[in-house]
Amino acid sequence: MDRKNVTLVTEFILLGIPLSQELQILLFVVLSACYVITVVGNATIIAVSLHDAQLHTPMYFFLGNLALLDICFTSAIVPKVLFNLISGSKTITFHGCLVQSYVYFLLGTTEFLLLAMMSFDRYVAICHPLRYGTIMKPKLCLKLILCSWIGGFLDTIVQTVLTFRLPFCGSNIIDHYFCDVAPLVKLACGDTHLIGMLDLILASSLVLGSLFFSMVSYGCIIFAITKISSVAGQKKTFSTCASHLTVVFIVYGSCIFMCINPAKNSKIDSTKIVALLNSILTPLLNPFIYSFRNKTFKEALKRTLKKNYISNQKA
């Protein structure tokens, strides 16, 4: 197609989720509350992990990075959704769409890889406890975090560049509440076969590869737990492992559901609902699943609050 003879799209319209005015207001209130709790909860994990010396361990180093990822991940989508709900505006510029799409998938991809790294950390801690300090040194932990970010960057940059190099010269209506790649590619005027195949290969290899790595790690952990002679020790170890597995199932389950993309039999596309829950529910639950139920973290939080209170009293 000759681009000189067509008018290229400069902005997109996000259809969002079709709801009545009353339900839109309710959704705005619920999302606002969830967003605030998400940011405060994850920021608390970061602050306490940095402040309390007893939490300067590999596990809380990974949890702090996961908390930072969750804040950024939900902030890439939810504020724009809230603005659209309250203002009634559904437009987003071409470059704004590019940035939103890239940041969303960069952070999402990085989180998959980070969860795999965290499963390795738990594997070493439970299956090789005597060598844990020797293996999980700060230098290795930093390398694992960097590998997660670099892997997310490389996987996402190819997809984003190829997608936004496509000519968009027809409809500018995206059937989603954010700039997701799948509905965006449907609007392109050019041949999208290559980008479709590449997206499928990259997404499936990364998601299934990191999921396989995590499942192997947790499989070894569960096998090791069964060998613990103490029932109390089994329960304590399995409780920690179960919290990590819960997050893995939520994150990967929602992603696989969206990739399968079941038929639309209802007025509201179920994939939009799942995507929205993935954007807000997972970052919201992570602090409670990983940390706020953990006795060590709760004690560290109490110490931090006590120190801050004493410091304020002296001031």
Number of residues that this document lists for the chain: 315
Q: What pTM was estimated for this model as a whole?
A: 0.88
| Integer Cα distance of 118 and 66 in angstroms | 9
Give yes or no for a contact between 152 and 109, defined as CB atoms under 8 angstroms apart. Answer: yes
Domain borders along the chain are 9-310
| Integer Cα distance of 199 and 174 in angstroms | 18
Kindly give the parts of the chain with pLDDT less than 50: 1-3, 5, 262-263, 265-267
Beta-carbon-side half-sphere exposure of residue 201 (alpha carbons within 13 Å): 8
CATH code matching the domain that covers 9-310, chosen among 1.10.240.10, 1.20.1070.10, 2.60.40.180, 3.40.50.620: 1.20.1070.10
pLDDT digits (tens, 9 = 90+) for 51-65: 988 899 999 999 999
Cβ contacts of 59 within 8 Å, gap of 6 or more: 118, 121, 122, 125
- pLDDT number for residue 150: 94
pLDDT digits (tens, 9 = 90+) for 190-232: 777 888 788 888 888 888 899 999 999 999 988 888 887 777 7
